[in-house]
Structure 1
Amino acid sequence: MKIIVPMAGRGSRLRPHTLTVPKPLIPVAGKPIVHRLVEDIAKVLNQPIEEVAFVIHESFGKQIENDLVAIAEKLGAKGTIYYQNEPLGTGHAIMCAKDSLSGPAVIAYADTLIRANFDLDTQADSVIWVKQVDKPEAFGVVQMNEANEIVELVEKPQTFVSDLAVIGIYYFKDVGVLKNELQLVIDNNIIHGGEYQINDGIKQMMAKGMKFVPGEVAEWMDCGNKDVTVDTNNRMLKFIYEDADETMISEKVRIENSEIIQPCYIADDVVLINSIVGPNVSLGKGTHLTNVKIKNSLVQTHAHLRNAKLDNAMIGNHATFDGDFKSISIGDYSVLE
């Protein structure tokens, strides 16, 4: 089994945090989004992962490439890097990894996190992962037949089709078939919204009678902008705390006259002085808090916070904040004193 992860976009809606770090590498509950995504998919698949192929922008740099390869190797898989240097769509991004498009594979776009526990139907030609939503008109949804098979993909339907939204994760029994269909999409210049789309390849597979079925996830968490990323951090902390399958508070934390209210993730070398932390707070390595009350917030590494009451805040690496604003979003190396 392979996992293909298109992630070349920087994430403009999450600026300023993505000006220095690509969105899939923003940490949520102590791990980069893409790291959690790949791990969660591997748990659902429950079978050996042969390769994880990442499609990135060449500007991400060698250190990020090395970090991504390490994520794959942690799963016992080969890590492969491909480049998409022009934003030409989801279908084009997949085809940038065409040398890895063979055999069974999962394709997952790296701007979402999931919680799922279902048996993957490996007899179907494809499984499209979906989540029941309250407002299907705001999403791309699947249309089903009486046999519980997917027969159509409908983008933002104005009349009710179904309430099962496509979340951007797909299984293909032989991803080489998708590769062939997407090559036809590109060769025939089939463009929607100015881009080559994965949906056009999938629709051609459906037209040839291939069987598509849904795989419904229990939780679908977005990381599109600051508010939803903070909310995703909150929810992920709760899941990890309940599962008790990860260390959430490092033993290398200095605590002076301070209180931690779980669930929280607190990394190595964090210093807490006269502070109340939690619930739902992630503090990255080397962060210092003095006279701070903070909840429902995400702070990256080596930040220095003083004299603050924070709620729904997202703070970047090496940032300094001293003030009485409550809900803030400041990027790496910012100073507000």
Structure 2
Amino acid sequence: MAETRHSKVLIIGSGPAGYTAAVYAARAMLKPVLVQGLQPGGQLTITTEVENWPGDTQVQGPDLMVRMEEHAREMGAEIVSDYISSLDLSQRPFKAHADSGITFTADAVILATGAQAKWLGLPSEEKFMGFGVSACATCDGFFYRNKEVVVVGGGNTAVEEALFLTNFASKVTLVHRRDTLRAERILQERLFAHPKVALQWHSAVEEVLGTETPPGVTGVRVRDVRDGTESVIPCDGFFVAIGHSPASELVKDQLELHADGYVKVEAGSTRTSIPGVFAAGDLTDHIYRQAITSAGMGCMAALDAERYLAGIEEVLDDQDTARD
């Protein structure tokens, strides 16, 4: 017979939002269960140096996530290495089915499944990921002070990343398949006016070039989409800025979402369209997408869940008193 396990709070996801939620929920004596998912630690596990985490002038992304997991365990959270393949929010307690065959039930659910940067899908892109290839200028821009970088994309994300990188890089080349951008007009005007920015129109990135030992990016090979001619743009860093995809598959037909798939929450809270279900981190945040903001939202989600559960218990106590 399949195993069923119940907890007051079930946390799905194990990045900064999930682990922080686990710390706060455990401190509230809610005995939370956190299911890590396919990538324990989330996007920070593929990030090398992190220099914007308060209290650490520099820390390796994977090391930071190990510390956060250990902190959650020390507080009393139960961390489960499993993957939630389906989630039923139509009845209470909520039900989550895991790949292991276990069914987790809970009075409250905190969703912290995050989001993934969209990548070009090039083998060379994956090869140099963390060694010159990045999807977060805010995270990694500092490492390219007085160096040349390339950004690929044509929307707000790409233009914002390119403009941010001008604070550090000596030159920023934006590569786009067309000769017009999709970004907001005011962002385009800032980009076009910036002396450090060069535009590479009608171009698609075909390969990231680099060295083996030590691993590092030296350039990108691009193809002109009009005539097929190829050229190489020398650079020290390559930033992919073609958007993010929130991991909202579990709830896409159950919770209210934004048009781009991010989970909607009430302003100033982590409450979703279903009472008792909370969302934190990159799953709901399409603006900041930082580890520290995700952790802050994880804290909020745990506190929101604690208040929600306290309200349920108060109602049950009143009902018991009325029956007496």
TM-score, normalized by the shorter chain, greater than 0.5: no
Pick the structure with more helix per residue. 2
Which structure has more RCO (C-alpha within 8 Å, separation ≥ 6)?
2
User: Of the two, which has the highest radius of gyration?
Assistant: 2
Pick the structure with more strand per residue. 1
Q: TM-score, normalised by structure 2?
A: 0.28
